[in-house]
Structure 1
Amino acid sequence: MKTKTIILSTVTALSLTFAVPSYAAANPFSDLTSIAAKDKIIALQEKGLVQGISDDLFAPNDIITAAQGIQLIVNAANLNLDLVRFLVEPKATDYFKNADNDAWYANALITASVNGVVLPADLDPNKKWTREEFTHLLISTIETHNNLPKLKLVPVEINDSKDLTIDYDGSIQRALAYNVVKLDEQGNFHPKAEITRAEAAEQIYNVLEYIKAHPAPSPQPDLESETNSKRSPSSTSPQIPGAK
């Protein structure tokens, strides 16, 4: 990663937003009739957080690519370049050697990298992603950019845990605790299965709902300092000469 090409003017905005962007779609996707997550996908579409392959088609059963997954996560975490000043015009290939600087995803890759999303320099934007790859990156990014309440995590038994990439195990466990994902009836996660656009969108919706229901705790006032600041010499009882 060529970090020397940028100067961070200040810390980028980290909180999630649920406001409707100006580019939010007006008409719902027409190919979600038989999709269980239909309402969740439409809700994300109305917020401008997901886009289709055309104005009215979402292609829910298509396998998500790395580029599409990164774009979804960048949108969900509200990552942007608003507070970043570049010394030179950035290119996606400054960060990822296999990227196409003219591709639709170029800005998403730059935004993700500048905001600290951990991705390999040899990322293939067109690679089809697995369930564990998408879930791990989603959870790790959301946790990095949000002050989520601490969990007393009780690990869930995953029957196909032997198929999990070991570095992803913690993220998958927390995704289960956040109700972002669920195991199937046999207790399997299917980590190496390719993830569809509908499944990825559902995870995005679920993690945003979790954050909405668990806002970051407000800073607690320093009660001792506040008490001390209220004290003054005049509050002390006056000493009267000769009094007992």
Structure 2
Amino acid sequence: MASISAASDAGDIIVRIAKVSLTAEGKAVLGDRPVYDLSVIAGESTISTFGGGSVRISVPYVLQAGERSDAVIVYHINSTGSLDNVRGNYNAAKRTVDFVTTHFSQYIIGYNQVSFADVPDASWYSHAVGFLAARSITSGTDAEHYSPNAAITRGQFIVLLLKAYDITPDAIAADNFADAGNTYYTNYLATAKRLGVATGSGDNQFQPDIQITRQELFTLLYRSLVALGELPSEKTAATLAGFSDAGQIAGYAQEALQALVERGVVTGANGKLNPKEVTTRAEAAQVIYNLLSK
């Protein structure tokens, strides 16, 4: 609102949400998908950015025959004409697609179903994996398999976490962990270190190829949510005292698990948190999905 009121032009303020059509080239790639052109005009000036503020958008959408809700995604047409993924999801209760943007332009309601042979539709992690894969946040271990029961490593989780929150890794890893190497997670680790998300395991080591435990994962997740201002504000009545194995939680993970349990991000299983157990790829996907799909 401050950005709009700061416009120098006098006259009416007009907010437009117009449904437009894809170009022939766009239809060849995406099919005949809904496109919305969002704009704010103050007098004669078009305001496209909001000085760090954000706008929540809901547009009507009815699932087409055979469509899965987790594969409905939002694209933004950037200044070069390419497509960028926008954080958003299908709201079944309202039959809308909801997303958040910091700028107005054209947005496409797309569809990108990604299936894996080892992720049955009836599995508890099916929607989570489908949701993340549709948005290129996660990928399979090969073209046909996700390997949901395989353990996820510390380096893999950092990449998943930063992708989930649209954090582009630093192009140059100026200050990194000594064991960051030169591989797919190298620049992601440097970015996580700079943001204070990852502090390592001592002696400037991160141990990226070690399987990550549940308490390590939740600690990294908590630090990320705090650093990004994404920690949910609404709390439940749940506390660590409600879990029989709360005494096994390491000191460094106490604050993180308490905060995530209170906010319903972590619910445990059979009255336990199992803080020292390694985390599977399916479990990691489910945790991220629970946050992004709200």
TM-score bracket for this pair, using the shorter chain length: 0.5 to 0.7
CA distance in 1, matches of 2:53, 2:156: 21
Change (3 A) 1:119 1:25: farther
Structure 1 counterpart of 2:192, from 87, 90, 112: 112
Offset from partner CA, 1:194-233 (integer Å, 9 cap, x none)? 0000000100001223xx4xxxxxxxxxxxxxxxxxxxxx
Structure 2 residue aligned with 1:237: none
Deviation at 1:132, TM superposition (A): 0.7
Match of 1:122 in 2: 205
What is the DSSP-based 3-state SS (H/G/I as helix, E as strand, rest coil) of the residue aligned with 1:57? Answer: coil
Question: Alpha-carbon deviation of 1:56?
Answer: 2.4
Report the TM-score, using the length of structure 2 for normalisation. Answer: 0.57
User: Which string of whole-angstrom CA distances, capped at 9 and with x for unpartnered residues, describes residues 81-136 of structure 1?
Assistant: 5xx7x7xx436xx41111212x1211221222233323212111101110110011
Partner residue, 1:198: 282
1:180 to 2:265 alignment: yes
> Out of 132, 135, 145, which is 2:228 matched to?
145
Kindly report which structure 2 residues correspond to 1:8-19, keeping only aligned pairs within 5 A, or say none: 19=74
Q: Which runs of 5+ in 2 are unaligned?
A: 1-51, 57-72, 76-82, 86-110
Please say if residues 63 and 128 of structure 1, whose CA atoms lie closer than 8 Å, have aligned partners that are also in contact.
yes
Q: SS state of the match for residue 150, structure 2?
A: coil
**Residue 165 (structure 2) pairs with residue 77 (structure 1):** yes
Aligned length: 188
Query: Any idea what the Cα deviations from partners look like across 1:111-165, whole Å, max 9, x if unmatched?
Result: 2223332321211110111011001111220122025454556424221111101
Whether 2:178 is the aligned partner of 1:97: answer yes
State the TM-score, normalizing by the size of structure 1.
Answer: 0.67
Distance 1:90-1:28 versus aligned 2 partners, 3 A rule: same
Task: List gaps (5 residues or longer) in structure 1.
Answer: 1-12, 213-244
Higher Cα Rg, which structure: 1
Q: Does 1:56 align with 2:144?
A: yes
Distance verdict in 2 for CA 1:195–1:149, change over 3 Å: closer
Secondary structure of 1:199's partner?
Answer: helix
Distance 1:199 1:149 in 2: 20
- Partner residue in 2 for 1:29: 116
Distance 2:227 2:210 in 1: 24
Q: Is the 8 A contact 1:179 1:206 kept in 2?
A: no
Root mean square deviation, CA, Å: 2.9
- Higher RCO by CA contacts (8 Å cutoff, separation 6 or greater): 1
Counterpart of 1:30, as a letter, is: A
Q: Is the 8 A contact 2:234 2:263 kept in 1?
A: no
How far is 1:172 from its partner?
1.2
TM-aligned CA distance change 1:30 to 1:110, over 3 Å: same
Between the aligned partners of 1:108 and 1:124, the Cα distance in structure 2 is: 14
Q: Provide the rounded CA distance (Å) in 2 between the counterparts of 1:137 and 1:90.
A: 20
Residue identity opposite 1:146 in structure 2:
G
Stretches (4+) displaced over 6 A: none
Q: Does 1:39 align with 2:39?
A: no
Identify, as 1 or 2, the structure richer in helix: 1
Query: 1:36–1:14: structure 2 CA closer, same or farther, 3 Å change rule?
Result: farther
